[in-house]
């Protein structure tokens, strides 16, 4: 592809995308992108094209694919309603730093601004929720714009890029097309050079610390710095909690892994946040779901913040020592300055809260003796049945928090969820994308009865593409997380949360997907075994208790130590 050739803009686009190493594209065709889909027909042996059932499904699938594979997810849709249908996924990818290139069709340049059929101002709409967006109006811009889009999406703090592609530019011939490679943009510094003075300052703080605590975020996964992280933690004997998106960066059985942070996280790391003397944030952004009330958050601690994005430093929590850069580079630099230490007493002190949580919450959730099946029980059983090796995908709500709490991971980068945007309906399509991105792995989706129906149409994609995802509906016939808030904070006024559900098994079967329903504890193990017995798609509907609650819980906006279990504040 190094020689100059004459192509249509649509062909040039596909050429450029392939040149970036893309072999899988998600999307949905339509009027203002037909030339691109026509060109795609010529590349069927180089591109696996996954036709979704709704553009939102396609973009979430691209996100799931990007998250599991580390590659840039590519989604191509038409203009107008298709473009607005991918907005949720773009916003989701922006908040969760997922590398995406989204190509939307657009009306021809002479029609721009006239309210033409299926015209929408995509660049105007997506400016606040993309890392970069650009309207390609001439075919000569394609090579440059595509190269730039992929470079921006996958470097620095990763994120979504939109290319809005006018129809005239798709049809026009480009006479001297040559794919480009972008490695530099003068106005864009993806990664700062490590500042050794700051690293030394941070090392000194950690060397003097008696009670250090690390907070692990998705930056570790995005930077492939899992090994560097464990070396750092081991050397200075630092216990670590992780954010929702940082889950699986540390193996579940790692000695210093102290569990999940935040609203429904584990008691110990949340309490210890306000006890530690040095707090070391690594590739995380102090989201309010992690911090609770920011005015009472870790006030006693010196705070060190490792991040790739300078705009995150001091955004929510004042930072004493910022360490800018890629954690894969900065963590080893600081590790070599650390004294080999032991904080045995401090590390062991987490056990008090851990025992309490096990007794008050975990045992009851995963080993109940009687009553209806519990959500946590299902998740723990599936973790066991998959030997902690599965990729776990979730939807949003109780299913997500339960999956985050009770899944176990032996492998890194194995937990895919919509964190920042909290997008219900993310689950099915993201699981499709994850399975396509990692076909050799078992992909298990946990989804509620509500979220399942938000993107239920993607069962069609599973059928057509034969995607072997294992879907588990935790069915409580409620919008469970909202129901939980109503029970706890809104006087049990269950406004718009009870759901009358369809026969999910019949629906799955109509799509040719094997399915079963289980509602009795003694049949659960067999039902799980049946689901995992082959590599085909499968839907297991588990009828769980209808009034399950995710505990512990720190009510929104309150102090990180204000942890409620079974309606009462935890006091150790």
Partner 1 sequence: MIELTKDKKLYTVTVFSENTPGLLNQITIIFTRRQLNIETLSVSPSALKGIHKFTITVVTTHDMIEKVVKQIDKRIDVLKAYYNVDEELIFQEIALYKLSTEKVLEMGSIESLIRRYDARVLEMNSTCIVIEKTGLYEETQNLFDELSQTIGVLQFIRSGRVAITKGKVERLSDMLASLENAQ
**Scanning residues 379 to 418, which ones bind partner 1 (CB under 8 A)?**
none
- Long-range contact list for 4-7, CB < 8 A, 24+ apart? 4/176, 4/177, 4/178, 5/177, 6/173, 6/174, 6/175, 6/177, 7/173, 7/174, 7/177
Q: Is 185 in the site for partner 1 (CB under 8 A)?
A: yes
Q: Is 204 in the site for partner 1 (CB under 8 A)?
A: no
Question: In sequence order, what are the residues at sequence separation of 6 or more whose Cβ sits closer than 8 angstroms to the Cβ of residue 139?
Answer: 8, 9, 12, 169, 170, 172, 173, 174, 177
Q: Is 187 in the site for partner 1 (CB under 8 A)?
A: yes
The residue annotated as part of the active site, out of 167, 328, 408, 470, is 167
Q: Least distance to partner 1 from the beta carbon of 76, Å?
A: 22
Q: Is 342 in the site for partner 1 (CB under 8 A)?
A: no
Q: Least distance to partner 1 from the beta carbon of 92, Å?
A: 18
Question: In sequence order, what are the residues at sequence separation of 6 or more whose Cβ sits closer than 8 angstroms to the Cβ of residue 494?
Answer: 478, 483, 486, 487
Binding mask 512-551 for partner 1 (x = CB under 8 A): ----------------------------------------
Task: Indicate which single residue of 4, 127, 389, 411 sits in contact with partner 1 (rule: CB under 8 A).
Answer: 127
Rounded alpha-carbon distances, angstroms, from residue 15 to 182, 192, 461: 15, 32, 25
Torsion of CA 266, 271, 277, 281, to 10 degrees: 40
Binding mask 421-460 for partner 1 (x = CB under 8 A): ----------------------------------------
Q: Least distance to partner 1 from the beta carbon of 159, Å?
A: 10
**Scanning residues 154 to 183, which ones bind partner 1 (CB under 8 A)?**
183
Of 284, 278, 279, 334, nearest in space to 309 by CA = 284
DSSP H helices, 223-336, are 226-236, 267-273, 288-291, 327-335
Could you tell me how many residues of this chain bind partner 1 (CB under 8 A)? 22
Torsion of CA 267, 273, 274, 277, to 10 degrees: 140
Q: Which tokens is 326 given?
A: 């890629």
Cβ closest to partner 1, residue 313 vs residue 430: 313
Cα–chain-centroid distance for residue 374?
25
Q: Catalytic: 55?
A: yes
Q: Is 123 in the site for partner 1 (CB under 8 A)?
A: yes
With beta carbons less than 8 A apart as the criterion, state whether 74 and 49 touch: no
Cβ closest to partner 1, residue 127 vs residue 526: 127
Task: State how far the Cα of 129 lies from the Cα of 122, in Å rounded to an integer.
Answer: 11
DSSP H helices, 142-181, are 142-154, 167-171
Q: Catalytic: 106?
A: no
Q: Is 128 in the site for partner 1 (CB under 8 A)?
A: yes
Q: Is 565 in the site for partner 1 (CB under 8 A)?
A: no
Rounded alpha-carbon distances, angstroms, from residue 452 to 85, 225, 274, 424, 505: 18, 33, 38, 8, 12
Q: Is 295 in the site for partner 1 (CB under 8 A)?
A: no
Cβ closest to partner 1, residue 152 vs residue 424: 152
Q: Is 495 in the site for partner 1 (CB under 8 A)?
A: no
Q: Catalytic: 46?
A: no
Q: Which stretch binds partner 1 (CB under 8 A): 48-56, 126-134, 440-448, 516-524?
A: 126-134
Q: Catalytic: 458?
A: no
Q: Is 297 in the site for partner 1 (CB under 8 A)?
A: no
Question: In sequence order, what are the residues at sequence separation of 6 or more whose Cβ sits closer than 8 angstroms to the Cβ of residue 347?
Answer: 237, 239, 255, 256
Cα–chain-centroid distance for residue 508?
26
Q: Which stretch binds partner 1 (CB under 8 A): 24-32, 127-135, 258-266, 525-533?
A: 127-135
With beta carbons less than 8 A apart as the criterion, state whether 162 and 124 touch: no
Q: Least distance to partner 1 from the beta carbon of 205, Å?
A: 22
Cβ closest to partner 1, residue 127 vs residue 204: 127
Cβ closest to partner 1, residue 269 vs residue 322: 322
Q: Catalytic: 481?
A: yes
The residue annotated as part of the active site, out of 94, 401, 481, 553, is 481
Whose structure tokens read 């690390």? Answer: 214
Q: Is 184 in the site for partner 1 (CB under 8 A)?
A: yes
Task: Indicate which single residue of 141, 287, 309, 326 sits in contact with partner 1 (rule: CB under 8 A).
Answer: 309
Task: State how far the Cα of 313 lies from the Cα of 163, in Å rounded to an integer.
Answer: 29
Cβ closest to partner 1, residue 318 vs residue 439: 318
Task: State how far the Cα of 90 lies from the Cα of 162, in Å rounded to an integer.
Answer: 8
Chain residues that interact with partner 1, rule: CB under 8 A: 123-124, 127-128, 131-133, 135, 152, 183-189, 309-311, 313-315
The catalytic site residues sit at 55, 117-118, 167, 481
């Amino acid at each position: 592809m190094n020689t100059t050739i004459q192509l249509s803009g649509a062909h040039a686009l596909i050429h450029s995308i392939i040149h970036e190493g893309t072999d899988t594209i998600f999307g949905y065709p339509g009027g203002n992108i037909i030339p691109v889909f026509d060109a795609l027909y010529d590349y069927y042996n180089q591109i696996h094209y996954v036709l979704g059932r709704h553009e939102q499904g396609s973009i979430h699938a691209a996100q799931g694919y990007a998250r599991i594979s580390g590659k840039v997810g590519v989604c191509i849709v038409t203009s107008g309603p298709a473009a607005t249908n991918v907005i949720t996924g773009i916003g989701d990818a922006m908040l969760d730093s997922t590398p995406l290139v989204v190509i939307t069709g657009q009306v021809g340049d002479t029609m721009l601004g006239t309210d033409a059929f299926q015209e929408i101002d995509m660049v105007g709409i997506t400016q606040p929720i993309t890392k970069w967006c650009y309207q390609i109006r001439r075919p000569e811009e394609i090579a440059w714009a595509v190269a730039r889009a992929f470079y921006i999406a996958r470097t620095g703090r990763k994120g979504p890029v939109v290319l809005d592609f006018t129809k005239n530019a798709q049809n026009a011939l480009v006479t001297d097309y040559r794919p480009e490679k972008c490695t530099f943009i003068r106005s864009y510094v993806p990664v700062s050079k490590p500042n050794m003075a700051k690293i030394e300052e941070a090392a000194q703080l950690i060397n003097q610390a008696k009670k250090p605590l690390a907070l692990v975020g998705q930056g570790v996964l995005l930077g492939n710095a899992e090994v560097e992280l464990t070396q750092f933690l081991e050397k200075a004997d630092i216990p670590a909690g992780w954010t929702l998106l940082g889950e699986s960066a540390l193996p579940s059985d790692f000695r210093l892994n102290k569990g999940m942070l935040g609203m429904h996280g584990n008691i110990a790391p949340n309490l210890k946040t306000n006890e530690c003397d040095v707090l070391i944030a690594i590739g995380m952004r102090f989201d309010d779901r992690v911090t609770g009330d920011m005015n009472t958050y870790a006030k006693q601690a010196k705070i060190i913040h490792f991040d790739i994005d300078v705009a995150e430093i001091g955004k929510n929590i004042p930072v004493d020592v910022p360490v800018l850069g890629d954690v894969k580079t900065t963590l080893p630099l600081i590790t070599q300055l650390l004294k080999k230490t032991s904080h045995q007493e401090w590390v062991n002190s987490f056990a008090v809260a851990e025992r309490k949580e096990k007794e008050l919450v975990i045992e009851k959730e995963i080993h109940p003796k009687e009553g209806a099946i519990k959500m946590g029980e299902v998740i723990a059983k599936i973790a066991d049945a998959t030997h902690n090796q599965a990729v776990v995908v979730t939807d949003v709500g109780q299913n997500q928090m339960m999956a985050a709490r009770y899944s176990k991971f032996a492998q890194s980068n194995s937990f895919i969820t919509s964190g920042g945007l909290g997008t219900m309906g993310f689950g099915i399509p993201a699981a499709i994308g994850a399975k396509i991105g990692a076909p050799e792995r078992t992909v298990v989706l946990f989804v509620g009865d509500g979220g399942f129906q938000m993107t239920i149409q993607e069962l069609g994609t599973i059928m057509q593409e034969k995607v072997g995802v294992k879907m588990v509906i935790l069915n409580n016939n409620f919008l469970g997380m909202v129901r939980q808030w109503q029970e706890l904070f809104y006087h049990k006024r269950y406004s718009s949360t009870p759901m009358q559900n369809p026969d999910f098994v019949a629906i799955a079967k109509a799509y040719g997907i094997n399915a079963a329903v289980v509602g009795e504890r003694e049949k659960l193990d067999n039902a799980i075994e049946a689901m995992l017995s082959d590599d085909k798609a499968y839907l297991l509907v588990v009828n769980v208790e209808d009034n399950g609650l995710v505990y512990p819980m720190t009510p929104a906006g309150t102090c990180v130590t204000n942890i409620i279990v079974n309606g009462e504040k935890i006091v150790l």
